[in-house]
Each structure stands twice: as structure tokens, then as C-alpha cells.
Chains A and B, each alone.
Chain A
Amino acid sequence: MNNNDDDVQFDSLIKKMAHDHQPQLPNSGILWWRAQILKRQADKERIERPLVIMRLVAVTAGAVILFGFLMSNWRQAQPAANGSHVSFLAPLLVFSAIGCALLLVLLAWPPVSKKN
């Protein structure tokens, strides 16, 4: 047997092995629709990405502003917290702080880092 015959025989053996492989394949229709669903999800995520980023920025900025506001008005807010002295600005400060905190919670909800 020469080398060429050898190659031909080898080739036919590999082809036979491939031909004998008869697996249970997943349904093509299901695969197609799965691909469409994944594509839609990816498109939705892409569209929503700026919104998610802006929400994160808003939450961060809100937290910074609230913190700065509380720090700058700490002297007036402290007596109200202690209950020793009630200034006319103190309740306003406390209610503003609670309002801002609620707003931040609302902005941060639902969690922005939601993953499929």
C-alpha cells in the first residue's frame, strides 16, 4: 500500500467517524428565539445604560449636597437634635434632611447594579 492509498483510507476513516456522530441536537427554533430574547435584553441594557449612569450620578450628587448642607448648618441643627433649644430653622433643617434622604432612597431604588 502506498502513501496515497494510506491518505485516502485515513480520510475515509475520519469521514466515517464524523458521519457516525448522530447527536441529539437542540431545536433550531428554540435557539433562534433564545437568540432574539438575548438580543432584546442586550439592546434594552444598552438603551438604559445612560439612565443608570445618570441615576448613579444623581444619587451621589444628592448625597454630597445633603452632607454639605448638614455640615454647614450643624450649629443650628444640633440644639434641635438635643432638644435643649428650639430655633425656628431647626425643624426646617431636620425635615429637609429627611426629605433629601427619602429622595435619595427613591433614586437608588430599584438597585442600579441589577444583573440578569
Chain B
Amino acid sequence: MCTAMATSPSYFISETWSSFRRNWVMSLVAVSIIYISLLLVGAFFLMSSVVNEMASSFESKVSVQVFLKDDAVPADVQALQASIRKMPNVKSISYVTKEQALAIFKERTKNTPQLVEQLRNNPLPASIEVALVSPREVQGVVNLIVKDPLTAKVVKTPANLGTAKDTDIKYGQNVVEALFAATGVVRVLAAGFLGLLLIVSLVLIGNTIRLAIYSRRREIGIMRLVGASNWFIRTPFLLEGVLQALIGSILAILTLVAAQAVIVPWLQGNLKFLPVNIGGVTVAQLAALLVVAGVGIGLIGSGSAVRRYLKV
């Protein structure tokens, strides 16, 4: 009865290792399948996180600009800034003077300097720039600004505020919806593909492990006939599944980290207009995802496969 206690963990460890070694062809197949599947999952995970970052950086460019008339009373302007700063969903605000606006314009048009040279005075208005916590809810902030009585005092054409003809408050009215629709689709697609890929690779890994155990079903039957209890038979198989999954997933993580170290700087160098970024957190998340998914499927796959052949 208590014979189970007498079997030391070292027995199972050496048993697992020797069986891993002696069935090296099957072990190799299992490890490679796990490696390749998890590599694909990981690569796609990284790509989708790059795409996500890009989408976020496009979204974060959505901001609200309130253009001020040249003769606005500075006290009113400051009061409006204070008021906007207190509105919900406002991350930060900044005040752009006429001179700064001209400098930005000059910088943007430096390839055609004659545009600026023709100007006799500075036609650009000063503005208040409002950055948002959640760019999706830009309309709410705009509504609050329009309703603020101070706004009417500082803009050029108060009559048009909040109408389609409004030229004093700009937030990319036409672009915003299309942008969010596009980034939404990209995000859903990426998540969908990642999910599919994850399922496919889990099934593939599970099947490989089952196959490896199927090839040894006779052994399991013999072990039963010699009087081995189920857990005694199962433990080395489970540990072997976990060992294969661990090796496969660690190899996949190493490959991804190495590839990322090469590819991301290259992308950043070649695609300057795109914000290519992978956070350190993402890589840690990825490693955790791969190891947990790998080991989980190793356990479940070998456990369920052994179960079938234990019924002797």
C-alpha cells in the first residue's frame, strides 16, 4: 500500500531522462514540432504586438486643437486652459503661440522655403492643443469645449461653434472614424489569427505527443501486466511530455529573442515613418505564454494519451 512512498523522485527523473534519450527519434520529432509551432505562435504574437503599437501610436495622434483669435484676452485664454485641463479624458494641454505655429509650419515646408518667404506677416493663429487619455472618446471632450462659455470669447467665429462649418476647433472630424475603424479591424484580425494559430499548434503538439505515446502503447500494457500502478506508469510519461515542451518552448523563445534583436532595429532603420516597437513587457509576456502553453499541452497531451492505454 505504502510502497508508493518508497519510490523516490530521483527514480522518476532518471526514468524520464533515459526514456527521453532512448526514444530519441520520437523525442526529437516532438521537440521540433513543439518548437516550430511555438515559434510560429510567438512570431505572430510579436508581429501583432508591433501592429498594435502602430495602431496605438496613430490613435494617440488624435488630439483637439482650439484656434484662438489674435486679439483674445490673455486672461480668458488662461481661464479656458484651466477649464479644459479639468475636463475628463484630458491627458495634457499645451499652448502654441503664433510664433511657435509659424516655426512648426516652416519646419514642415522646409523643402519649399518660398512658401514662407512670401509671407509678410504671420497669418497663423495661436492654439490650445489638447491630448487625450482615450482618443476614441474625442467627441465628448469637443462637446465640453464647445459648451464652455469661455471658448466663445477667444475664438474667431463663435457663431459656428459646434456646427459643421466650425473652423476654430479641429480634431480630424472626418479622419477619426475611419482611423478607428481601420485600427479596430487590424486588431481584431491580429487577435483572431493569433487565436487560430494557437489552437492549431496546440492540437498539433497534442497530437504529436499522443502519437509518441501510441508508439509505446505495448510498453504501457506490459507495465500494467507486471503490476505497475497507473500513477507509476503515468508519471514518467507526463514528465517526458513536460520535458519535451520545455525544451521546445525555450528554443522558440531564444530564437524569437535573437530574431527580434536583429529585425526590430532593421525595421526601425528602414521604416522611419512607422513606429516599430516591442515593449520589454511584451517579450516577457510572450515567454510566459509559450512556456505555459507548451507545458500545459505537454501535460494534457501525454496525460490523456496514456490514459487510453492504461485500461488493461
A, B assembled together: no
Interface residues of A (CB under 8 A from B): none
Interface residues of B (CB under 8 A from A): none
